[in-house]
Amino acid sequence: MKETIEKFYQAFENHDAERMTAYYHKEIQFEDPAFGVLIGEKAKNMWRMLCRSLNEQGGEITMINITSNDKICTANWEAHYTFSKTGKKVHNIIKAEFEFKDGLIIKHTDSFDLYKWAKQALGVKGVLIGWTPFFKKKLIIETNRLLCQFEQKID
């Protein structure tokens, strides 16, 4: 399991979404504060969209450490990038948890401080509303709208 996660993040560091998603089970369930829950191809396409954005606008992904036991693998990773809508620099610190089925990742949950992210990405607006449930709901709607637009372009 640990080796799979190392390869997953090596691919992410290289912005190689196809290699990343090759480690995902066809029934993958991904969840994070920005996208909510994504299943199957939607989860894979989210990585394709993010890697394309990192390639176009620059950004750096760093995997910090990986731990595993018989059932779960965890990893800490960091993202440094410029948020395209505002031009503001973001340093996001993420904790990931993975579960496996048939040797592939079946469940991937990323967690991070959404308020801290909002303050960096949105500035004053993030300070004012980034902590609210309304903001989180609106963000998930917007990121999923962008994902749907991306999927229409790749189909």
Cβ contacts of 34 within 8 Å, gap of 6 or more: 114, 117, 139, 140, 143
- Strand order across the 60-68 sheet: 36-39, 24-32, 104-111, 88-101, 72-83, 60-68
Tell me the per-residue pLDDT of 70-112, one tens digit each, with 9 for 90 and over.
789 999 999 999 998 899 999 999 999 999 999 999 999 999 9
Reduced to 3 states (helix: H, G, I; strand: E, B; else coil), residue 52 is helix
Tell me the per-residue pLDDT of 26-49, one tens digit each, with 9 for 90 and over.
999 999 999 999 999 999 999 999
At residue 25, does pLDDT exceed 80? yes
Percent of the chain with pLDDT over 90: 85
Cβ contacts of 62 within 8 Å, gap of 6 or more: 13, 77, 78, 80
* Domains of the chain, CATH where assigned: 2-133 (3.10.450.50)
